[in-house]
Amino acid sequence: MDRDTELQLIDELLEIKASRTFYLDEGVTRSPVSRYISQERFDLEREHLFRQVPLIAAHVSELAEPGSFLRKNLAGLPVLLTRDKEGRANAFLNVCRHRGTQLVEAGSGCSHKFTCPYHAWTYSSAGKLIAAPHFKQGFTGEDKADYGLKRLMCEERHGFIWVRARGEGDVDIDGFLGGLGEELAALDIEDMFLASDETIEVEANWKLIVEGGIEAYHFKVAHRDTIGPFFEDNLSTYRIFGDHMRSILMRSSMARLAPDTREDWRLRDHAQVLYNLLPTSSLLVQQDHIAWIHAEPLGPAKTQLRLATLAPKAQAHRADHWAHNHQITKTTLMEDFVLNESMQKGIASGAIEYMTFGRFEGALDAYNRVVEGYLDQATALADAANPPARRNGGC
Ligand code: FES
Ligand SMILES: [Fe+2]
């Protein structure tokens, strides 16, 4: 983030606080509960959003050396990430081209050869079929070169490995980031390591979890026993960058900044800076580290969440400090997740047809509009390919 933007964001929050108001959108909006509970809707999101955009599959440190590999579940698909002998990161569907067995069972490891557990077809870390027992006799007329692993778009950018499950060709990650690329680059995520890393499951729709992170209305209430006292009441701002969002939550310490120290003001010391990268990776930028929250939706009411703490490699020796910070973040997030699970059961009861977003919860509507945009686009393309039958049946 450039210095002007950093100071503008601080000034904006200080002005809102001084005027005793909030960061308000135009009007109240509503979000139908069917978006959060329907299997049909979930299937559409998976196909037309999650499988169409680049997803953060891993931090670069997880695939650091040639030969390192990772098995992932990405947008509901089995994926194998490898770093080949040339040092290139690759993503493939983790599916044997013979009869479809999942090729790699281990979650991670180091190898340049992957042998299918069924009939021993063997692939290189670059995805080529390099051996198959009795191939010449049994597969007469077939060419091994046609049986490489199905390759997915894969790119390293800003310290992460991005993978897109569908579509040919490359993706311009910075273009996809809608102007956030420079800010992410400035975070030096590639020079960080995973100080803590864990996976949990939450019985709630993925959008409820995202929405819980982009409003400050709940902070003094739901987090009153943890970090609530360190933040202003209901004071956050947000900006949209393409399909993504940056929101800033004001710490109480910001209001105590002395004007004559303006040159030293640092946003991340006095606010929580949150990047929501569509669809479900969130980077919560703290004073000296980043909490990375990544969701893999498993169903309309079930989401797998990865909670990781990224810290500078140069400070790897501060293990206790990072573990302590991870625990604080996790404890706070668990307060959100318990409420998300409560909401999921609540909205599934039929008691309400829609959720109501107040004017200071405008970020929730903005995020939902982006998601709706992907689904609308898919519907429009389907209609163009298959025009709906003419109404009233006239000739
Ligand atoms: S299914 Fe993999 S070798 Fe047969
Ligand atoms: Fe929260």
119 lines ligand 1 (CB under 6 A): yes
pLDDT (tens digit, 9 = 90+) per residue, 104-133? 999 999 999 999 999 999 999 999 999 999
Confidence tier at 154 by pLDDT (50, 70, 90): very high
Q: Are residues 116 and 221 in the same domain?
A: no
Q: Are residues 219 and 342 in the same domain?
A: yes
Pocket residue to mutate for ligand 1, from 118, 122, 134, 147, most atoms within 8 A of Cβ = 118
Q: Are residues 62 and 134 in the same domain?
A: yes
pLDDT score of 266 more than 90: yes
Q: Does the residue 267 lie in any domain?
A: yes
How many domains does the chain contain in total? 2
Furthest-apart CA atoms within the chain: distance in Å? 82
Distance of CA 73 from the midpoint of ligand 1 (Å): 20
pLDDT, position 389: 60
Q: Does the residue 10 lie in any domain?
A: yes
Where a domain ends, among 133, 151, 170?
Answer: 170
| Two tokens, residue 275 | 């990047």
User: What is the C-alpha separation between 72 and 161, in angstroms, rounded?
Assistant: 12
Q: Which ligand is nearest to the CA of 329?
A: 2
Task: Report the 10 Å Cβ neighbour count for 315.
Answer: 15
Q: Are residues 67 and 20 in the same domain?
A: no
Q: Are residues 293 and 277 in the same domain?
A: yes
Indicate which atom in ligand 1 lies nearest the CA of residue 97.
Answer: 2
**Torsions phi, psi of 41, nearest 5?**
-65, -40
Q: Residue 198: beta bridge partners?
A: 307
User: What is the C-alpha separation between 93 and 78, in angstroms, rounded?
Assistant: 6
Amino acid at 285: V
Q: Are residues 289 and 364 in the same domain?
A: yes
The mean pLDDT value for 41-70 works out to 97
Q: Are residues 31 and 137 in the same domain?
A: no
Q: Does the residue 298 lie in any domain?
A: yes
Q: Are residues 207 and 81 in the same domain?
A: no
Q: Are residues 43 and 62 in the same domain?
A: no
Cβ atoms of residues 276 and 282 within 8 Å: yes
Confidence tier at 171 by pLDDT (50, 70, 90): confident
pLDDT, position 169: 77
User: What is the C-alpha separation between 130 and 167, in angstroms, rounded?
Assistant: 26
Nearest-CA residue for ligand 1 atom 3 is 119
Q: Are residues 259 and 343 in the same domain?
A: yes
Residue 346 is classified by DSSP as: H
Pairwise pLDDT comparison (394 vs 127), residue with the higher score: 127
Q: Does the residue 386 lie in any domain?
A: no
Q: Does the residue 385 lie in any domain?
A: no
Domain harbouring 127, CATH code: 2.102.10.10
Which residues touch 369 (CB under 8 Å, ≥6 apart)? none
Give the predicted TM-score (pTM) of the model: 0.94
Q: Does the residue 388 lie in any domain?
A: no
The mean pLDDT value for 369-392 works out to 80
- Taking Cα atoms as reference points, which of 91, 84, 163, 155 lies closest to residue 124? 84
User: What is the C-alpha separation between 64 and 49, in angstroms, rounded?
Assistant: 29
pLDDT (tens digit, 9 = 90+) per residue, 227-259? 999 999 999 999 999 999 999 999 999 999 999
63 lines ligand 1 (CB under 6 A): no
Q: Are residues 193 and 298 in the same domain?
A: yes
Nearest-CA residue for ligand 1 atom 1 is 99
Q: Are residues 187 and 316 in the same domain?
A: yes
The range of the structural domain enclosing residue 130 comes to 55-170
Q: Does the residue 256 lie in any domain?
A: yes
pLDDT (tens digit, 9 = 90+) per residue, 22-50? 989 999 999 999 999 999 999 999 999 99
99 lines ligand 1 (CB under 6 A): yes
pLDDT score of 159 more than 90: yes
pLDDT, position 379: 83
